Structure 1
Amino acid sequence: MTKEIQGLTRKKKAKVKPSEVVTRPDDFQYRENEVENHHVEDLAILIRQGRPVDPLDVWQDDTTGELVVIDGHHRHAAFKRTTTAKKVPIVIWQGRLEDARLHALRENAKARLPMTATEKSNAAWRLVCFKTDDAQPKPLYSKARVVKTAGVSEGTVASMRRTLRLLESSDDPEVPDTWQGALALLKGQQREELDDDEREALIQERTAKLDEKVGKEIATMADIQIDAVARMLEKRLGSKVRRLADWWRDVDAIGDEFEEDGEEFQF
């Protein structure tokens, strides 16, 4: 029996191997952390005890055929963490990607693990940033739809749209993934003074983008030959590499202070 929910059609229930289900956090996860470890472990305990766990909602990509988690990231991680469960219960949904994104956000916003105000704002910002594929792209989601799905005000969405237009019209267009990062970047472009929180948001945003581009390659090479990484940084940064050395020295000093106080300091 099929069931339709705002553009998606529920095809069927099934049980599949955990490896047959994939995640796409950029499309379907709206929390600051993809999963919370303590919540995953609580669910894993239930699974090991043979107790029932709600099925995952998955979207079937009509291009690749992949089964992608749209709701149930913690349950998916818990199933992967256990060895007792050979099959994962799922509900397969079919439909457009844009409708699947909205379904994921609606489910994330429910009370099982409530979204923070920051997560709601970031979710709304991501929806605002989606555009149509037309020759002259337009917002993919209406203001009313973003307000209803993300749980933010009309004024917030209007502000987000204005901010996006200003960022896209700048000499060096850059669209951050988070709302705080967007505000900080716009303020920096307009040469306004950033406060500490805004500056930190901008640093985190740019750190995440840089890590996405080269972080894995640098980390892999560091395991193979750290000297190669050091020489690459020296070549690319020139005299600025001394600033990195000073920063690492300061970090080590802070860590030493915490160790002397008998506390463990982790990065």
Structure 2
Amino acid sequence: MNDMTTAELVRLDQIDDYDTSFSARSWRNDDWTKTLAVTLKRTGKLDPVLLWRDPDSPEGKLLIVDGHYRIAAYRSLKRAEAVAQIVQGSREQVLLQAAHSHLRGKLPLSAREQANFTWKLVREVGRSISKAELVKLTGMGTTTISRMRARWTELLQKAQDDGEDEPDITGDWHRDMKDKPVGEPDALKDEERTKAVQELARAVRNLTDRRKHKVLAQDGSIVLEAMSVALGDETVRALHDFAFSSDEELLTDWKAIEVAHTGPEMPF
């Protein structure tokens, strides 16, 4: 999509791991980092990481366009360098390159991650590429992208009418697709949301730890049955849609599930 240099070795201290401008991931998958580290240790190589240097910060570090997990794997093995290709182009062009890479990545995006990155493209790239090109780049449906474009136009107009420089958004399409109801608390910031997800994930892992619940070693399906009983069928279906749906319109509103659910409360 953009011109790239041939693969070369780049020192890790020249790479900014913390900038997530081009990342589509909602949270870190440590198991995938370990899998890549095992591959790197066994074969001595991984696919080249895609990097970009911001023309506005020529002395700054290289930003990761695609390959945060690969960089994490290199670091976990105490490597000093990574095999990389340098992407050339403007920020908008590089964002499109990132979308191209994400769609074809070995670790698939969740439906929500896919929708959120598409929403980011709609906001930052605008109409410089066609709807058909966005569909091809992201894998999202034409109807969804049309809704995103219409929503962004609406939010820009609202911000202008209110005398604001930029629309007040979260970056999460599922939350930004409609106005916040009067009286509803402000949405969590990205860092707060990530922290909450990680805390709840730890609690769930603790509940399903075979070392603490020996019965799970005898019958692992107990975990699935227990979750179905505790959460209810509607929530289980929503979890499936969240992970595997190709269109955010199929994602169920969690608040609606919460109201409908009358089962026992979870112990966390």
TM class, shorter-chain normalised? 0.5 to 0.7
Q: Does 1:163 align with 2:151?
A: yes
Question: What is aligned with 1:223?
Answer: none
Query: Does the CA-based 8 Å contact 2:50-2:67 persist in structure 1?
Result: yes
Structure 1 residue 209: Cα displacement: 5.4
| Alignment equivalent of 1:36, drawn from 29, 32, 35 | 29
| Alignment equivalent of 1:59, drawn from 48, 52, 55 | 52
Query: Does the CA-based 8 Å contact 1:168-1:175 persist in structure 2?
Result: no
Q: How does 1:6-155 map to 2 (within 5 A)?
A: 6=1, 8-23=2-17, 25-33=19-27, 35-49=28-42, 51-65=44-58, 66-83=61-78, 85-130=79-124, 139-155=127-143
Deviations 1:216-237 (A, max 9, x none): xxxxxxxxxxxxxxxxxxxxxx
Of structures 1 and 2, the one scoring higher in RCO (CA 8 A, sep 6+) is 2
Unaligned residue ranges in structure 2 (runs of 5+) = 194-199, 214-265
TM-score with structure 1 setting the length: 0.62
Deviations 1:49-103 (A, max 9, x none): 46322221112322323322111111011111222x2221111121111111111
Structure 1 residue 169: Cα displacement: 3.3
* CA distance in 2 between partners of 1:125 and 1:11 (Å): 29
Query: Does the CA-based 8 Å contact 2:49-2:71 persist in structure 1?
Result: yes
Superposed CA RMSD in Å reads 3.5
Structure 1 residue 174: Cα displacement: 1.2
* CA distance in 2 between partners of 1:118 and 1:86 (Å): 34
Deviations 1:131-184 (A, max 9, x none): 6xxxxxx64443233222111112111111222233333347412201001024
* CA distance in 1 between partners of 2:83 and 2:191 (Å): 37
TM-score with structure 2 setting the length: 0.62
Q: How does 1:113-262 map to 2 (within 5 A)?
A: 113-130=107-124, 139-170=127-158, 171=162, 173-184=167-178, 186=179, 188=181, 206-208=187-189, 211=192
* CA distance in 2 between partners of 1:80 and 1:109 (Å): 25
Structure 1 residue 24: Cα displacement: 6.0
Query: Does the CA-based 8 Å contact 1:32-1:119 persist in structure 2?
Result: yes
* CA distance in 1 between partners of 2:191 and 2:49 (Å): 32
Query: Does the CA-based 8 Å contact 1:164-1:175 persist in structure 2?
Result: no
Larger radius of gyration: 1
Deviations 1:14-61 (A, max 9, x none): 21221211246542101222x311000111233344632222111232
Residue identity over aligned pairs, in percent, reads 23
Query: Does the CA-based 8 Å contact 2:170-2:189 persist in structure 1?
Result: no
* CA distance in 1 between partners of 2:33 and 2:88 (Å): 27
Unaligned residue ranges in structure 1 (runs of 5+) = 1-5, 132-137, 213-250
Query: Does the CA-based 8 Å contact 1:30-1:108 persist in structure 2?
Result: yes
